[in-house]
């Protein structure tokens, strides 16, 4: 509890001149934030990594910047309108300046590792466990950083995501004032934007779960090849509170990345578009330029002319289901409409189930541009224009 200051206004007559003018009640409380240990361990959200290495153990950085809260006495401010106190500034879940710096480091990581797809998948899988029918946090799942724990990494749908954690861990170590939940979503949104996609209206301040016992049970993420693809997509995404338009728009993120059969059980070991990388070669992509974010996913799924391009049952369902088809056809013809709907759906997904501190979240956009040349990931992709 913060320090309390009791002030006696000048109009009150004291029994003697030696009477104390202010009484201090209560002691400032201290809260120690313990370090969180992290160790490592097939899905609709199948973006393959550009890195093939694995990680056996992660160590989370101790958050030591605010071990003791409200330690100083509150300052008294006297004005013509009476007495008041200046309260100590509050510490939020993530530090805004560190979030901005972490974003710049993520941009550099994307330039060197071509890891756009797997960073998007990481953020989606952390958020995609949300259940709108469960009110309590963190039981409801969602964007809470739980995917850093081994028990959740071992879920079949998360195969290979340990590589994404390995890529981001140095950034987490450098910026201990950024939560894992925020870092995962920051990385995904930055990856979309750096690949040429729309600006995502993000907010930050997500609180992390504290231990593996708070991870959701397995089975909340969508499958790639269920018996009834359209029904399955609705079952999973409706549980998250998303609708048909958002399902189709989010599916469009498969314009990035590859599916690797050793992880998801889907796709070819390599194609003419993936045999030379960039990053670790191999896998089968949905599009020819699989590091360029555009509407080519919808065009290629509709045309079905290239056997080297992947079409999962859940992809084909977008043009087979009457409701999904309305949006899929629209996005084939109108990339601007796709970008608008995708940006809104991505932002909504990234907020699912999250507990924000402050409650209204933290917005970091609008900061001055560094002036650096924008990285165009698409030029590193092979295939048709």
* Distance (Å, whole) CA 57 – CA 38: 6
| DSSP H or E run through 96 | helix 96-113
CA distances from 279 to 116, 233, 243, 385 (A): 11, 31, 35, 20
Hey, which residues does 362 pair with through a beta bridge?
204
Strand (E) or helix (H) holding 258: strand 258-259
Please check whether residue 33 is in contact with residue 95, taking contact to mean a CB–CB distance below 8 angstroms. no
Cα–Cα separations (whole angstroms), residue 383 to 103, 308, 309: 29, 11, 11
Cα 164 to chain center, whole Å? Answer: 12
Active site residue 346: no
Nearest in space to 279 (alpha carbons), one of 54, 113, 140: 113
Q: Active site residue: 56, 66, 116, 125, which one?
A: 125
CB 89 within 8 A of CB 169: no
The residues that bridge with 285 in the sheet, in sequence order, are 258
Whether residue 289 is preceded by a cis peptide bond, meaning omega within 30 degrees of 0, is no
Task: Give the end-to-end CA distance of the chain in Å, rounded to a whole number.
Answer: 61
CA pair distance 259, 280, nearest whole angstrom: 12
- In angstroms, the CA 71 to CA 69 distance is 6
Positions annotated as catalytic residues are 125
């Amino acid at each position: 509890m913060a320090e309390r200051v009791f002030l006696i206004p000048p109009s009150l007559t004291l029994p003697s001149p030696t009477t104390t003018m202010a009484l201090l009640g209560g002691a400032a409380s201290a809260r120690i934030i313990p370090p969180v240990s992290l160790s490592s361990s097939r899905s609709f959200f199948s973006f393959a990594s550009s890195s093939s290495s694995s990680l056996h153990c992660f160590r989370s950085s101790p958050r030591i910047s605010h071990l003791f809260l409200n330690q100083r006495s509150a300052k008294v401010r006297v004005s013509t309108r009476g007495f008041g106190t200046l309260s100590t500034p509050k510490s939020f879940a993530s530090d805004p300046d560190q979030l901005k710096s972490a974003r710049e480091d993520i941009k550099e990581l994307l330039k060197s590792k071509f890891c756009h797809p797997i960073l998007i998948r990481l953020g989606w899988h952390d958020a995609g466990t949300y259940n709108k029918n469960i009110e309590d946090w963190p039981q409801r799942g969602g964007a809470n950083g739980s995917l850093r724990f081994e028990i959740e990494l071992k879920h079949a749908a998360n195969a290979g995501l340990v590589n994404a954690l390995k890529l981001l861990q140095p950034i987490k170590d450098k910026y201990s004032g950024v939560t894992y939940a925020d870092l995962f979503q920051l990385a995904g949104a930055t990856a979309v934007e750096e690949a040429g996609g729309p600006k995502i209206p993000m907010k930050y301040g997500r609180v992390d779960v504290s231990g593996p016992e708070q991870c959701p049970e397995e089975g909340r993420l969508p499958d790639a090849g269920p018996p009834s693809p359209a029904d399955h997509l609705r079952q999973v995404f409706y549980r998250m509170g998303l609708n048909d338009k958002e399902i189709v728009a989010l599916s469009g993120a498969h314009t990035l990345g590859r599916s690797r059969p050793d992880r998801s059980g889907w796709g070819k070991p390599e194609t003419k578009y993936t045999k030379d990388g960039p990053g670790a070669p191999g896998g089968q992509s949905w599009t020819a330029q699989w590091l360029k974010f555009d509407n080519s996913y919808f065009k290629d799924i509709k045309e079905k002319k290239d056997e080297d391009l992947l079409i999962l049952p859940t992809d084909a369902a977008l043009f087979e289901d009457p409701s999904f088809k309305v949006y899929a056809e629209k996005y084939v013809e109108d990339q601007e409409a796709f970008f608008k709907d995708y940006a809104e759906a991505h932002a909504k997904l990234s907020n699912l189930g999250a507990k924000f501190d402050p409650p209204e979240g933290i917005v970091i956009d609008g900061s001055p541009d560094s002036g650096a040349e924008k990285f165009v990931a698409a030029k590193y992709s092979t295939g048709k224009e």
